[in-house]
Structure 1
Amino acid sequence: MAGGLAALAALAAAGCAVVAWPPSDPHHPTAADASAGHTPPAPRSPGPSAPAPSATASASARAEDPAPTRGSGADIPLKGPGTFVTAPGESGEAGTGKVLRYRVEVENGIDVSAAGAAAQVERILSDPRGWTADGHSAFRRVADGPTDFVVRIATPGTVDDICGQYGLDTGGEVNCSVDRNVMVNLKRWEQATPVYAHDVTAYRALIINHEVGHFLGHGHVTCPGKGKPAPAMMQQIKGMHGCVPNVWPYDTEGHLITGPSVP
């Protein structure tokens, strides 16, 4: 279920929402979204030891630094070589429970710093409003060795190719989570959607939270009620349905932000 250009145009008519990060928050995560289908995660590799909530989510398959660039459509290359560079270094463990090791990769030839993107992903996954709030998910970024999943930022064409291998049509527009690949469409990473056009950083957090949520086994949900925060697992790119923008799975008190399940 990829969100196409028509969906984006519909959102544009709804206006733009700004999602500011609390100035005192040491983890200024980034935002994102995704929209595609959904396939169950493959078995995880063992590995060696294997303020008020902001707003939105995306759609997905199982689908630097805090001043992001917002290029025009012409600035986004449609297709890259399909090869990737891995962000160097590693992070400490964030969260309690099973530690999921992940890499951050950026497609060769695009104007995105692998190290900068990795820093943003780390902040998102370590934020107390993220998936670590479930009490049993922990994350650690690595540059080599066994990994449970890989976050890949790639051109629309490369995302289409990889997601398409699993039967998902991302239409050059959206992200997906397939097998152990969290695929981030460069267009969404740089331009967000009309609702988040003035807070691309927030939208990047939505992308990561939505797609990693699929990897963790969470399916799509819809808006729980008018004026309520949109769940991170809602396909916000398809419309807000009365909800207000929110990019986090949990609120500041540790309560899951969710809504009715979507088949």
Structure 2
Amino acid sequence: MSRPSSPRRAGRHAREGAPAGFLSEGVAAGRSAARKVKRRAAQDPRRAMVSLGVCLTVGLGGGMAATMSTEPDASAAVVAGVVEDNLGAEAAAAVRNVYEAARSGERTSPPPSTTPPGAAAEAGAASGTGAGVGTAADELLEPPTSDLPEPLAAAPDGEPAPEKSLPPSPSPSPSASSAPTPEPGSGLVGTKIAVEEKLSGELVVASGSRPAPAEGKVWRVQIAVEKGLPVDPEVFAESVLATLNDPRGWNAADGSTFAWTDSDRYDARVVLASPGTTDRLCLPLDTIGELSCGIEETAVLNFKRWATGSQAWENTGRYRQYLVNHEVGHVIGYRHDLCTGEGEHATVMVQQTTTTSGCIPEPWPVPDAPVPAAE
């Protein structure tokens, strides 16, 4: 159902900037076509609808063609007003939507602005699009935030672009390879060895097993280190077994050969202990915190002697070999010998820690036994 035309609407659209001559031509054509359609509507509704569409197309098209080239926004407003007067608000809204779609599709990106920054800011404030005025389009076109690094700033002409510094790499965590390496032949760990007079007395058995390397009387030997000593138990065990099974050792003297075991089923035991624990393990012998002992099935080596050696020996490594062979010699049945004279070679069972009584120090039971050449 059509609505009576409104001169006030036409006047409002005319005031928005369209030339009066062009607007009046389009409005007159549209209204004339609308009157003809209303007279025919009573005779044939379907024919009336077709006729109405043709008339509106001709009349409104003429008005839009007359004004679109000069004032497109004003022309669209006039056409929408006429359609609303005759066909209702929904039809007018459809016309506005079509116009806006066509208008947005014909637009292209504007050329770069040459307006000075100050003038642009004033113009934006006057039109309501400057800073402080938000629109839906502004929100849609706002670039999303990103965790990516910011692009490098452009360098002046002729200069290389600045390099963006990378964050420092994390320091590598300490690994097992950075731990001190035990000294071969002793198992001592670290460069400055502190001798604690007394520790807990808890013993750590060196893990490992190995058969005896030669024929003869087999002694199964367990090797242990007191907990808290700066000594690697397994390296210490290797040095003990290397000394006991040396060709100049007890096998050359009486056929004894030594197997390594970490079980409690052993024939002999070698323990490296602090001075205080050595004194306790050697009772009833008195080792006075300085000496070692061989008692029953256990050879107790005083850590103070193992770490610092003896003033009677120029070579600490050779003194350690003596200490092992001498104390294990007691375990397998040998007693002390005496020095036979000034300048003579001592036997391995001569006490040689505090003094050699004028004898030449000797670490081996059979020092003259042949030793295979090193490969």
TM-score by length of 2: 0.47
**One-letter amino acid of the counterpart of residue 253, structure 2:** D
Which string of whole-angstrom CA distances, capped at 9 and with x for unpartnered residues, describes residues 86-128 of structure 1?
Answer: 1111123133222110111000011011011001001101111
Could you say which structure has the larger radius of gyration? 2
Q: 1:74 to 1:130 in 2, by over 3 A?
A: closer
Identify the residue that residue 259 of structure 2 maps to in structure 1.
Answer: 140
CA RMSD in angstroms comes to 2.2
* Change in 2 beyond 3 A, CA 1:145/1:162: closer
1:234-262 residue CA offsets vs partner (Å, 9 max, x unmatched): 011242222112111112237xxxxxxxx
The SS at the match of 1:75 is coil
Partner of 2:360: 244
The separation in 1 between residues aligned to 2:357 and 2:189, in whole angstroms, is 26
Sequence identity (%): 35
Pick the aligned partner of 2:286 from 162, 166, 169: 169
> Structure 2 CA distance, aligned partners of 1:162 and 1:202?
25
Out of 93, 97, 102, which is 2:212 matched to? 93
Q: Tell me the secondary structure at the aligned position of residue 223 of structure 2.
A: strand
Map residues 123-138 of structure 1 onto 2, 5 A cutoff: 123-138=242-257
Instruction: Provide the secondary structure at the position in 1 that maps to 2:353.
Output: helix
Q: How far apart, CA to CA, are the structure 1 residues paired with 2:264 and 2:355?
A: 40
Alpha-carbon contact 2:187-2:232 (below 8 Å) kept: no
**Counterparts of residues 32-111 of structure 1 (less than 5 Å):** 64-66=183-185, 75-111=194-230
Q: Is contact 1:220–1:235 with CA below 8 Å preserved after alignment?
A: yes
Greater helix share, structure number: 2
Output aligned runs, 1:222-237, within 5 Å.
222-237=338-353
- The residue type equivalent to 2:298 in the other structure is N
Note the alpha carbon deviations across 1:205-261, whole angstroms, 9 max, x for none.
Answer: 11111011111111111112222211110011242222112111112237xxxxxxx
CA apart distance, 1:72: 11
Between Structure 1 and Structure 2, which shows a larger proportion of strand residues? 1
Q: Which runs of 5+ in 2 are unaligned?
A: 1-182, 371-375
C-alpha distance 118-231 of structure 1, shift in aligned 2 (>3 A): same
Aligned partner of 2:316 in structure 1 is 200
**1:28 corresponding residue in structure 2:** none
Mapped contact 1:70–1:200 kept (Cα < 8 A): no
Instruction: Return the structure number with greater relative CO, CA threshold 8 A, min gap 6.
Output: 1
Which runs of 5 or more residues in structure 1 are unaligned? 1-63, 255-263
For the residue of structure 2 that corresponds to 1:157, the secondary structure is: helix
The reply on whether 1:217 has 2:333 as its aligned counterpart is: yes
Q: Could you tell me which amino acid in structure 2 is paired with residue 175 of structure 1?
A: S
Matches of 1:211 and 1:182, distance apart in 2: 5
Amino acid at match of 2:358: G
| Separation in structure 2 between the aligned mates of residue 88 and residue 168 of structure 1, nearest angstrom | 29
What is the distance in 2 between the residues matched to 1:157 and 1:205?
22
Give TM-score, length-normalised by structure 1.
Answer: 0.66
Is the alpha carbon distance of 1:74 and 1:110 closer, same or farther for their aligned partners in structure 2, counting shifts above 3 Å? closer
1:178 and 2:285 aligned: no
Relative to structure 1, the CA distance from residue 68 to residue 101 in structure 2 (aligned partners, 3 Å threshold; closer, same or farther) is closer
Which whole-Å CA distance do the structure 2 matches of 1:202 and 1:145 have between them?
A: 30
